[in-house]
Structure 1
Amino acid sequence: MIGARFALYPMTADFVPVILKALEAMSEFPLERKTDDISTFLSGEEGTLFKALAAAFEQASAGGEHVVMSLTLSRGCPGEPGEDRCDPTPAQAEAARPEPRASGPQVACQFSLYPLGLAGYMEVIYQQVAAAQRSGAVKVVPQHFCTRLEGPLAAVLGQLRTAFDQAAVHTPHVVIHATLSAHSPTGR
């Protein structure tokens, strides 16, 4: 089990229905979910959680307006003892899951990977940025304090999941912070 917390920011005066429809798009997924006035917490099986995030963001961006998602992913956090989502468990094997389809809206994403409790954490981060570049699934641009990914939503989320899983091979406590944007009216 992993956990996530995300917030949606639709750039439209009619933002409430956009957010509510995006949250409704996750209702088919068996996850623990709690929404408050700032964000939504999710916890559950990793593949299901990533599918739910994709469904929510795809729904939020369906109207073509600029929308942003702020996302934190966590696994193996020792801060909540006794919680399944905090028990360090090995990442799902890469061969056990299909490659993400190049579907969904085109998105830009800035993400930071934190393999916590690991002396050689920078090497793990460098490995995952290099792996994303080699994959060819998305455009990868190193930036200050983060790495930028550009491509279809499914491919971008697939790269985040791969980095998350591969970092967990080295340490049980891994966090990713990501900001995703679709339909931005500005260029880079």
Structure 2
Amino acid sequence: MSSPQSHTRPTVMAVWLVVAGVIGWWAAFQLTLEKLHALEFPGTAASCDFSVLVQCTANLDSWQGSILGFPNPIIGLTAWVAPIVVGVAILAGARFARWFWWLFELGMLLAFVFVCWLIGQSIFVLGTLCPWCMVTWAVVIPSFYVVTVHILRTGILPAPANIRRSAGKLMPWVPLITIVSYAIIVVLAQVRLDALTNIFGTLFA
């Protein structure tokens, strides 16, 4: 039986989903343009290539950049439509069935896992930091946290009452958890790539 909380309208989450979806879609769109430009003019540098470390070309040209056989940005162009639609629908008063939220959470989980894998590949294998990729990372991570906490606190995802109560208290802490996640990525990039030295060296060279 659904918790009464499951019928409340999560307005703040809805607004975030729309904002994150637009930002993520725009990043995917820019990367798609860069890929098309590279195909049209082979050997030319992408506009987001700022240094050996901060660049898009190495990521787009790698097999990791086309994990399904086509450029990853195309995945973003289609996938980011979902949170935008869901966010707008919630703001319009829509209520989704439990199975819909399960599928949406599965999509967010897959996106989160994929982004974590891409972060690892970028830092530890390719040795680059793609600007538009990092924008995608920045919006996927909190989006996953927000949706996961929401479906736990509302009882959409079956969980004991104490977990639901804890999830309800956890929502205000999502921004801090997100910042900690960003900090972990920065530390990994700094330890592995000496990112800060390279970035600031490029800016002030």
Interval of TM-score (by shorter of Structure 1 and Structure 2): under 0.3
More strand by share: 1
Q: If the length of structure 1 is used for normalisation, what is the TM-score?
A: 0.28
Report the structure number with the largest CA radius of gyration: 2
More helix by share: 2
Q: If the length of structure 2 is used for normalisation, what is the TM-score?
A: 0.26
